[in-house]
Amino acid sequence: MPRKLILAGFFFNPQGNHRISWRHEKAPDHEVFSLDYYADLAREAERAKLDFIFLADHMAIWSGARSSVRHYANPRLEPITLLSALAAVTRDIGLVSTASTSYSEPYNLARLFASLDHLSAGRAAINIVTSAMAEEAQNYGHGDVFAHGDRYRRAEEYVRVLRALWDSWEDEALLFDRASGDFADETRVHALDHEGEFFKVRGPLNVPRPPQGHLPVFQAGSSSDGKDFAARHVDVQFVSLRSIEDALSYRADMNARLAKAGRDPAELIVLQGLQPVVAGSRAEAEDRFAHLQALQPDRLSLDLLSAWSGVDLDGVDPDGPMPPLPEAEGYKGVQTTLERVRLHAAKGLSVIEIARTMSAGGEMQFVGGTPREIADDIEAWFTSGAVDGFNLMFPHLPGDWTDFTGKVVPELQRRGLFQREYGPGTLRERLGLAPAPNLFRPALAAE
């Protein structure tokens, strides 16, 4: 089968990927808490044949610094509720939600996502995060986030339990035999009796096996722990890489980790984060992005950098060098983000330059210009074999979203790079992922 370019519409904030996108003169306001707003975007994405919608999520208001609620409170709708509503107003597009393995129980999420998969006829997927915000920990009865290694060990056990719960009902378990009175074949419904380091789960799930069997598992961690986790458990990985050369190197590293985990490299789909801005020229697109950045207060950018780096920047000269950073070993925050701060500091950027670059979404690849120029960039990355597709992170919504679907997608379709129609089957099948065998079947065959 030829490789298939994958494109997804990503919601970082309700008004766009840029943290200050809510101040854009054409940005929505209160309607971002209504179904109509998301339904219109979902239908537009489905008309363009995007593969899926991907909702980021946090379970807290970012409130660790004085500028946070005033400038960037980060409120959002609960994603499973929203995607369940969108399942009713769409037919083909995939529905992907972030879910925390740190502050939820596997049984709860297994039930929620199995239900979404049934309601959407096999279009759901789960993006696993281990949650590194202190505010999230404090909302769930913890003084601080779990240690980095503990978060990933918990996530590993979590995913194993999720898949076992989805398998606790075999596909043929439901009988609905009115004549005999047999509702289900009890030999095909299984208790887990799982007892591990973090979880104790009896099972079975009280939702039948999802249409996809195992929902596709997404993940975005690029630390060493994150990459090892992806190699063992993940179907789709979301990355942010600086160049095609970096992406090819990353792919080689992941291929080696996949082989060590006993998996074929083709089993992992890699999606690059991309911020596309359609304009008359690259210069015009850069001006539009700079206009957004000019709306963001430096105080907010500095507060964000403090949170990401683990360094209190209050009173630090913003035009001076970055103070010494903590070592990655033992750092409880997002280690990948910390290393990006370190990289910018090593280049000689000042504190405020690092803050502005990172807080603007500058860590994600930006491409701006005409539809043809943007398509050229996408084609170069895809045909190199570096990535399998892109998570499209539009700086502001809905304008950048509709510009891309209406102008860039037709150019990609004209080149034969992107689908004109959805293929048959579930999201798992459309992504080219192998069927998921029931985990209980080998055990049953051995008896």
Q: How far apart are CA 96 and CA 217, in angstroms?
A: 9
Contacts of 97 (CB under 8 A, 6+ apart): 55, 57, 79, 80, 83, 113, 116, 124, 125, 126, 127
Task: Give, rounded to a whole angstrom, the gap between the first and last alpha carbons of the chain.
Answer: 37
**H or E element at residue 366:** strand 365-369
Q: What DSSP string describes 7-40?
A: EEEEESSTT-SSTTGGGSTT---GGGGSHHHHHH
Three-state DSSP state, 351: helix
**H or E element at residue 292:** helix 282-294
CA angle 407, 408, 412 (to 5 degrees): 130
The backbone torsions φ and ψ at residue 236, rounded to the nearest 5 degrees and listed phi first, read: -135, 125
Helices (H), 48-172: 68-71, 79-89, 106-119, 134-139, 148-166
pLDDT one digit per residue (tens) for the chain, 447 residues:
568 999 999 998 899 988 889 999 999 999 999 999 999 999 999 999 999 999 999 888 776 555 566 777 778 999 999 999 999 999 999 999 999 999 999 999 999 999 999 999 999 999 999 887 778 888 888 888 888 788 889 999 999 999 999 999 999 999 999 999 999 999 999 999 999 999 999 999 999 999 999 999 999 977 888 899 999 999 999 999 989 999 999 999 999 999 999 999 999 999 999 999 999 999 999 999 989 888 988 888 888 888 888 888 888 999 999 998 988 777 777 777 888 889 889 999 999 999 888 877 656 899 999 999 999 999 999 999 999 999 999 999 999 999 999 999 999 999 999 999 999 999 999 999 999 999 998 655 454
Beta-carbon count within 10 A of 207 CB: 18
Residue 423: predicted pLDDT: 95
Instruction: Map out the domains of the chain with their CATH numbers.
Output: 6-169+203-294+364-446 (3.20.20.30), 297-359 (no CATH)
Q: 366-389 burial string, b = 16+ CB within 10 Å, else e? A: bbbbbbebbbebbbebbeeebbbb
**Short-list 431, 436, 444, CA closest to 1:** 431
